[in-house]
Structure 1
């Protein structure tokens, strides 16, 4: 097949690698004029790394990544540790692959370079897909410059504001969650004693929480700090906010959080929206993946990884079935239960992390502390359903 992919982000590039590995020609149509530094840190858990291993790109992904020592839960004020689950030495032993922190730009570069090595000029920059037309035999992507390109399959990996989804299902109706996230990246060398721990650390508190971890072999500190807000804002990765407002949102919190907010050269402010499940993910020879069909709130750190899983399963099923529309329906049936469960888990965590009343905190975090102290295997096991899942095993129910 000739597979057209709208969107050169993580899901689109993984899909391109997966289809190319199976012998298909791929064309990735990316609206940006070049690869850039937009975005910040990502957590790639073992279920995502197994896909990269199957596609032969794990070494490239690991090259500039950081392997966290643990997953931690701490109080935002005071920094007291509630839970610590080993990762660096335990991830491969328990879940079969590494757990990594990567800068989004590094991951996109690693995937794009691997694709370019395998098929020259597979990624076309400055080409934005705005609509599609199709027949029984082909599909044509129409671009914003009035040109078009035809192929056998069109994959909508064009993100949360997907033009492919809008044509397929009409305008979406996002719901403001009442949460706004501050995002920042700071060199660790500028933070001194207030550098974040070498872990994936969630800091919890009343009506807000923060997540810190390291990137680029430990040289960068990444922060996502979420606060409840009654005022809806624009849904954008690139909107910035004032340092004064950010520090006010997290005043009297750990010096680690304060230092990053103080030293960050740019503070992005990202309003979080949720969406209802879609009626369908495909239309004839057109299919959606990743944020285009199941956008994730960031409270389980699985948004990118779900797109990575989608990409692998889609390529496998579309290659095995001669009836392409039927294969796309099978892909949706295989993926929707899992992505829906992850979406729901992320929604629950939004509440779990924002306990403010001391009695509620004790009732919530006391059992978590007890499990970490006396039942560490049980604490580890809470993530098995996510991290041990293996979409590269297509022999049974692991799709």
Structure 2
């Protein structure tokens, strides 16, 4: 039995703790904040996420809190017309094996946290910010901000976009600033006129901006997020924004969008960031996971889904060998899929969501010309994953191959 340290107590960190502990290891989760909690509002979960959540033993609990949407709708934000719709009930669920649903982030986080607290092999520690690591032939130590050391057999850096573990392991500096600013709010559904309510995830694409809304909290609230390509150059995280400023940013929006934006309250803004894909995110007994390894823009709605996939696959690999071989196999098997998700998310933000004029009309013609079956084919590689690595090998064979490579020098 190994002792695995997880830096970061977010969705990816808790999922990793469960996946690894369920395979017989002891886990210590080090959270920098004074409590285990999740910030943010709505999150979309595709079938690949629910496949992972089922493996983690929390799918039912998350589904009980989720809103099962009927479609993903793509609208023209200037004309107000529907361009395309991807139905996600019936045929979609039969094809991909699980639902597409939306939840408040805490409705995903709370079941993971509850199961971690009940698990006999998971220890949760707060006020424990990890600032680096040290390793030798006998193990690894997570270095804390106060100078303390937490020692174990392996370290998983699940400490997010600005990961301290990544800073030491990869050393690629600050995240890439996308230039896109997002404004988020949550509206009580009782304040939303019935004619504006929908059980869909709806995206309105405009010139250098887009708007997304969908129900959360069991349908009691409407999650709204509007993004502007305003060439922002500095990262911003959760800064309060005046209501009037948000409205002033989107005077060219269709009337229905303006009406929904007017209902927003307590707006906060973020400048979205990601990183370029990298080939190496393991260093001996240390590995990165989720946003620490492959942070992506939200436009493909796959950031949390990829972290959940990571967690399950890493747990599988650790069952078949020592950490260094398992971590090398993990990176080798995951990097192509996660890099593709990163790059697709970037492309969606520029090529699909923000064009204007002739480019927007060409986009509408393309999306509107696809059949439902063709739309399913477009998302199948993401939503329909039945295994989370790029190889056809078993976890045992993948780890064994990395062990042989290491022995050969």
| Contact 2:178–2:232 (Cα < 8 Å) also in 1 | no
Q: With structure 1 as the length reference, what TM-score do the two structures score?
A: 0.93
- Counterpart CA distance in 1 for 2:375 and 2:72 is 11
CA contact (8 A) 2:241 2:269 kept: yes
SS at match of 1:211: strand
Structure 1 counterpart SS, 2:141: strand
Query: How do residues 100-139 of structure 1 correspond to structure 2 at under 5 angstroms?
Result: 100-119=101-120, 122-139=123-140
How many residues were matched structurally?
393
Mapped partners of 1:215, 1:243: distance in 2: 21
Match in the other structure for 1:380: 376
RMSD: 2.1
Q: CA contact under 8 A between 2:62 and 2:111: conserved in structure 1? A: yes
SS in 2 for 1:3: strand
- Tell me the residue number matched to 1:342: 341
The whole-number CA distance in structure 2 between the counterparts of 1:103 and 1:259 is: 23
Write the distance in 1 (CA, Å) between the matches of 2:321 and 2:251.
56
SS of aligned partner of 2:147: coil
Moved more, 134-143 or 328-337: 134-143
Structure 1 position 163, deviation (Å): 0.6
- Pick closer, same or farther for the CA change 1:296–1:51 going to 2, 3 Å: same
Partner SS state of residue 103, structure 2: strand
Aligned partner of 2:239 in structure 1 is 239
- Native 8 Å contact 1:46 1:91 kept in 2: no
Counterpart secondary structure, 2:39: coil
Map residues 60-71 of structure 1 onto 2, 5 A cutoff.
60-71=61-72
Q: Is the 8 A contact 1:205 1:355 kept in 2?
A: yes
CA contact under 8 A between 2:29 and 2:124: conserved in structure 1? Answer: yes
Maintained 8 Å contact 1:14/1:111:
yes
Measure how far apart 1:304 and its partner are: 0.6
Report the Cα distance in structure 2 between the residues aligned to 1:350 and 1:387, rounded to whole angstroms.
Answer: 19
Question: 1:174–1:273: 8 Å Cα contact kept in structure 2?
Answer: yes
65 and 44 in structure 1: CA distance in 2 versus 1, 3 angstrom threshold: same
Matched ranges for 1:44-193 at <5 A? 44-119=45-120, 122-193=123-194
Given that 2:16 and 2:315 are in contact with CA atoms closer than 8 Å, whether structure 1 keeps it comes out as yes
Q: What residue number does 2:356 align with?
A: 356
Question: Which shows bigger deviation, 113-122 or 14-23?
Answer: 113-122
Structure 2: gaps spanning 5 or more residues:
396-409
- Report Cα offsets for 1:67-121 as digits up to 9, x if no partner: 1110110111343111112113334201011211111122111100012122276
1: CA distance between counterparts of 2:97 and 2:316?
21
